[in-house]
């Protein structure tokens, strides 16, 4: 049993957003304000831009290899199993530690609501949330994702309220707090960007659950990029309001700047509301962390780089062993370590992983592997990756040698694990070898990675085929003696489809008969396809028309007995193009016309179409 594809665009957006909005927004602005003053806004803007190359890289890689495992899969397939082991272990522990810190950090806001809480009570509360999210994640990714959506939507709603009330307040008090804008000059902006960069490091976590996302070719890149853009704007707007409302003396060094600003705006209620928002932010980060961190050991267990028990999937379609062990790591970090210090070391590992992600994209692109066909291609390649890698190296230097030495020590332990456990047992071709062969002018007959990517394409194509078969089973069937005039046919289609498509009958007739929306007609030997692009989203419907006496669509053409009418919205164009390919193939089969004419029932007509859909590798129809 494998993982289930149950996550849509909204879940991808909320997992990515929830992983970003935590201490970086609710604690750090006050801490770094003392070093920069109002120019802290520029530090956050720079940090957001620096994160973008990795967002683009992982968005492309996730659509080319839409497997659960994220950075482990990318580094393993691009740089080999040893680098995959290092990347997977680094991602697993860094995400687990950062998530543990997020759950522990909610104590700052819990004490605002309940001042009597002590350290032990805060740790118990954080551990309780760990166990709750463990149960949610074990019982199905849908449950934990649904909880994530509710938390993130509520959190964004509270932040928008904060921004709107704050802007209204600023319209009356002015912007005096923004002068001088650079009280300590411009040079501290870059160094502070390195500190606040961790605020955006969670933007790519969702790539770890790529194997559980429906339509990964669309939902992952769009969900990640939308999340990065929305959260970046929220960060800048919230910080702008906070600086404008709070006096410099109260803001500098303040560890609860958003809650305190809420108090200025709305009194005690504002403090409570924004403290609740802070708790939601940290809790959503913890939930996203358990969900995504557990996928690294799962994928490593499947590939033989960790014991196979980590790769086990339960009846709910989740890696229960990996989730339990990840939760135990988080609980131990909360209970027995200085979790804040450990999170600092995790930040260094995350920067190294960002470098790995960009290198993975470069090696996959430059390997010229035939079946590397991402559905989304990162723009600005390779300049974005070069700039990103240089920026991450600079940030690593600025974080200090202590954190770097700890990260190097962890990587060495990972290398030792690989040589003791997996060396010699796991052999795999990877993209870097193909790049090296290109540089040396050599060719290889080995194509294991190419075959794996081909299987990914076939799997992706099979999903599309299954969906097309479902659409055929849901099709309207018209069994006519002769084909009606276009106006009559349009009314028949509108009457039959308006309720099913959620479009008014009159509106649908107008869509089908407008001069600028005339059907695109494709004539073949045994069939004609009429295609209409209509307004709306998520619309694809096919109707089957059998004309017993035949119909002639152009002067001098032979009569055909089969007509397909397709209505689709702009966002379904790729699926529409695939359906054209299958319909063109089936209509060219020698036995198609005979079976079509001989079918006695409408259900048999559908079966003729479904049985004729060819199997094989994905290819776009010639247009």
Please write the tens of the pLDDT for every residue from 186-202.
777 877 777 788 788 88
Return the pLDDT at 24.
80
- CA nearest 244: which of 177, 343, 167? 177
- CA nearest 126: which of 403, 343, 410? 343
pLDDT level of residue 614 (50, 70, 90 thresholds) = low
- Express each pLDDT in 518-529 by its tens digit: 457 888 778 888
Average pLDDT over residues 369-396: 88
- Higher-confidence position of 174 and 36: 36
pLDDT level of residue 150 (50, 70, 90 thresholds) = very high
Return the pLDDT at 214.
84
Element (H, E) at 61: helix 40-64
- Rounded CA gap, 339 and 323, in Å? 20
Return the pLDDT at 158.
94
Comparing 103-112, 167-176, 217-226, which segment has the lowest mean pLDDT? 103-112
CATH architecture classification, 451-611: 3-Layer(aba) Sandwich (3.40)
Return the pLDDT at 2.
63
Which residue has 């988080």 as its token pair? Answer: 330
- Higher-confidence position of 305 and 337: 305
Whether cis (ω within 30° of 0) applies to the bond prior to 180 is yes
SS3 state of residue 1: coil
- Higher-confidence position of 400 and 468: 468
SS3 state of residue 536: coil
Return the pLDDT at 53.
95
- Rounded CA gap, 140 and 310, in Å? 17
Return the pLDDT at 204.
87
- Express each pLDDT in 341-368 by its tens digit: 776 777 788 889 999 999 999 998 988 8
pLDDT level of residue 485 (50, 70, 90 thresholds) = confident
- Higher-confidence position of 94 and 586: 94
Whether pLDDT at 313 is above 60 = yes
Instruction: DSSP letter for 479, please.
Output: E
Whether pLDDT at 451 is above 80 = no
Whether pLDDT at 39 is above 80 = yes
pLDDT level of residue 623 (50, 70, 90 thresholds) = very low
Q: Which two tokens stand for residue 547?
A: 């004309």
Whether pLDDT at 383 is above 50 = yes
Whether pLDDT at 591 is above 90 = no
Return the pLDDT at 49.
92
Whether pLDDT at 474 is above 80 = yes
Spans of all domains in the chain:
9-422, 451-611
Average pLDDT over residues 22-42: 85
Element (H, E) at 523: strand 520-523
185 torsion bin: left (phi>0), alpha (psi -120 to 50), beta (else) = left
Return the pLDDT at 180.
82
Comparing 228-242, 297-311, 480-494, which segment has the lowest mean pLDDT? 480-494
Whether pLDDT at 506 is above 90 = no
SS3 state of residue 568: strand
CATH number attached to the domain at 9-422: 1.20.1740.10
- Higher-confidence position of 261 and 571: 261
Average pLDDT over residues 288-300: 90
Comparing 64-73, 447-456, 598-607, which segment has the lowest mean pLDDT? 447-456
- Express each pLDDT in 96-131 by its tens digit: 888 888 888 777 777 877 888 788 888 888 899 899
């Amino acid at each position: 049993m494998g993982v289930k594809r149950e996550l849509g665009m909204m879940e991808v957006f909320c997992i990515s957003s929830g992983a970003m909005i935590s201490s970086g927004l609710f604690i750090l602005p006050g801490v770094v304000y003392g070093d920069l003053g109002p120019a802290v806004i520029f530090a956050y803007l720079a940090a957001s831009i620096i994160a973008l190359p990795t967002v683009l890289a992982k968005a492309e890689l996730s659509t080319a290899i839409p497997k659960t495992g994220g950075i482990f899969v990318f580094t393993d397939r691009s740089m080999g199993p040893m680098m995959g082991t290092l990347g997977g272990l680094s991602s697993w522990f860094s995400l687990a530690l950062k998530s543990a810190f997020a759950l522990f950090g909610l104590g700052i806001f819990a004490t605002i609501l309940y001042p009597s809480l002590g350290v032990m009570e805060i740790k118990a509360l954080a551990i309780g949330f760990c166990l709750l999210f463990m149960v949610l994640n074990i019982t199905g990714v849908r449950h934990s994702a649904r909880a994530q959506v509710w938390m993130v939507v509520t959190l964004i709603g509270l932040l928008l309220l904060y921004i709107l009330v704050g802007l209204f307040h600023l319209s009356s008090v002015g912007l005096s707090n923004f002068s001088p804008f650079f009280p300590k000059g411009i040079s501290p902006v870059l160094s502070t960007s390195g500190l606040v960069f961790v605020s955006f490091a969670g933007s790519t976590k969702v790539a770890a659950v790529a194997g559980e996302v429906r339509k990964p070719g669309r939902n992952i890149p769009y969900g990640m990029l939308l999340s990065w853009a929305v959260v970046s704007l929220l960060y800048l707007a919230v910080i702008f309001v906070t600086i404008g409302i709070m006096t410099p003396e109260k803001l500098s060094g303040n560890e609860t700047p958003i809650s305190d600003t809420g108090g200025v705006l709305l009194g005690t209620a504002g403090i409570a509301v924004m403290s609740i928002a802070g708790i939601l932010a940290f809790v959503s980060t913890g939930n996203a962390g358990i969900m995504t961190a557990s996928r690294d050991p799962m994928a490593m267990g499947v590939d033989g780089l960790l014991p196979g028990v980590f790769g086990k999937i339960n009846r709910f379609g989740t890696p229960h062993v990996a989730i339990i062990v990840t939760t135990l790591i988080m609980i131990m970090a909360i209970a027995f370590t200085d979790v804040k210090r450990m999170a600092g070391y995790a930040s260094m590992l995350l920067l190294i992983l960002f470098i790995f992600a960009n290198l993975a994209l470069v090696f996959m692109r430059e390997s010229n592997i035939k079946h590397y066909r991402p559905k989304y291609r990162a723009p600005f390649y390779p300049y974005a990756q070069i700039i990103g890698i240089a920026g991450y190296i600079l940030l690593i230097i600025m974080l200090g040698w202590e954190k770097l030495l700890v990260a190097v020590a962890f990587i060495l332990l990972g290398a030792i694990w690989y040589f003791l456990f997996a060396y010699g047992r796991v052999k795999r071709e990877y993209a870097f070898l193909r790049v090296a062969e290109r540089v040396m002018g050599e060719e290889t007959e080995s194509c294991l990675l190419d075959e794996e990517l081909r299987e990914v394409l076939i799997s992706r194509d099979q999903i599309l085929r299954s969906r097309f078969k479902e659409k055929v089973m849901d099709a309207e069937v018209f069994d006519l003696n002769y084909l009606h005039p276009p106006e009559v046919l349009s009314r028949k289609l509108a009457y039959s489809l308006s309720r099913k498509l959620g479009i008014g009958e009159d509106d649908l007739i107008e869509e089908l008969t407008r001069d600028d929306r005339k059907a695109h007609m494709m004539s073949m030997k045994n069939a004609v396809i009429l295609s209409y692009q209509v307004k709306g989203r998520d619309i694809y419907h096919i109707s089957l028309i059998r004309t017993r006496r035949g119909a002639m669509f152009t002067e001098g053409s032979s009569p055909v007995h089969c007509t397909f009418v397709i209505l689709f919205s702009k966002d379904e164009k790729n699926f529409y193009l695939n359906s054209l390919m299958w319909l063109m193939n089936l209509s060219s089969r020698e036995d198609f016309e005979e079976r079509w004419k001989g079918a006695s029932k409408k259900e048999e007509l559908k079966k003729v179409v479904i049985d004729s859909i060819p199997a094989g590798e994905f290819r776009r129809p010639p247009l």
